[in-house]
Amino acid sequence: MTDYKSKLIELLKNNNVIKFGKFTLSSGKESDYYVDMKKAITEPEILECVAHLITEEIKDDNINKIAGPALGAVPIATATSLISKKPMLMIRKEKKSYGTSKQIEGELLENDNVVIVEDVTTTGGSLLKAIKVIEENGGNITQAFVIVDREEGAQETFEENNVEFKPLLTISEFRQYLDE
């Protein structure tokens, strides 16, 4: 385990980002834990750690852009852009109905190699929608990074869609760390 990964686990634990108990998720589903990533992505130390972990993974790759869907992934994309010195893209949930009517903010060129980032995944469905927007606009998604994978189908979703999925941390790893 890298120093940054150990640090990330400690920071998530110390900032009470992953809470255990009884929770109702936005899907209506019951869960014995809740990942409060909005709390995490507003903490500079966590963002910096995440950005270093992603930058370490991509430093030898031919990456042109770092992309993040609005809202949760924008701070992650920003921090990673700052550390990696790669320009970033922000992906809106839908096209603007005014001005330039863009769904992607930032300059995506034909055949740009793009890494997409996200805060937390469950099934991976919402991140897959953002990936499709990049691809439909000429970009190539090389990898999808997520801070925490809830391990509820995202891995399978990305495998089915031929996207390399790289969670920085899975909920199983976090639980294992707590049990040590």
CA 149, 151, 154, 158 torsion-angle sign? positive
Tens digits of per-residue pLDDT, 20-61?
999 988 778 899 999 999 899 999 999 999 999 999 999 989
| pLDDT average, residue stretch 105-117 | 97
Q: Which of 171, 87, 76, 57 is nearest to 127 (CA)?
A: 76
What global pTM score does this model have?
Answer: 0.92
Asked whether 91 and 103 are in contact (CB, 8 A), the reply is yes
Q: Which of 37, 49, 62, 78 is nearest to 143 (CA)?
A: 62
User: SS3 of 173, please?
Assistant: helix
pLDDT at 97 exceeding the cut of 80: no
The pLDDT, as a whole number, for residue 94 is 75
Q: Which of 23, 43, 32, 10 is nearest to 174 (CA)?
A: 10
CA 123, 72, 163, 128 torsion-angle sign? positive
Alpha-carbon gap, residue 168 to 118, rounded angstroms: 10
Query: What's the distance, Cα to Cα, between the start and end of the chain in Å?
Result: 14
| pLDDT average, residue stretch 162-169 | 96
Asked whether 109 and 134 are in contact (CB, 8 A), the reply is no
The pLDDT, as a whole number, for residue 2 is 75
- Contact partners, residue 162, CB within 8 Å, separation at least 6: none
Whole-number average pLDDT of the chain: 92
The pLDDT, as a whole number, for residue 27 is 74
The pLDDT, as a whole number, for residue 98 is 58
| pLDDT average, residue stretch 140-154 | 96
Tens digits of per-residue pLDDT, 69-89?
998 899 999 999 999 999 999
pLDDT at 100 exceeding the cut of 80: no
Backbone angles phi, psi at 16, to 5 degrees: 55, 45
Beta bridge partners of 33: 20
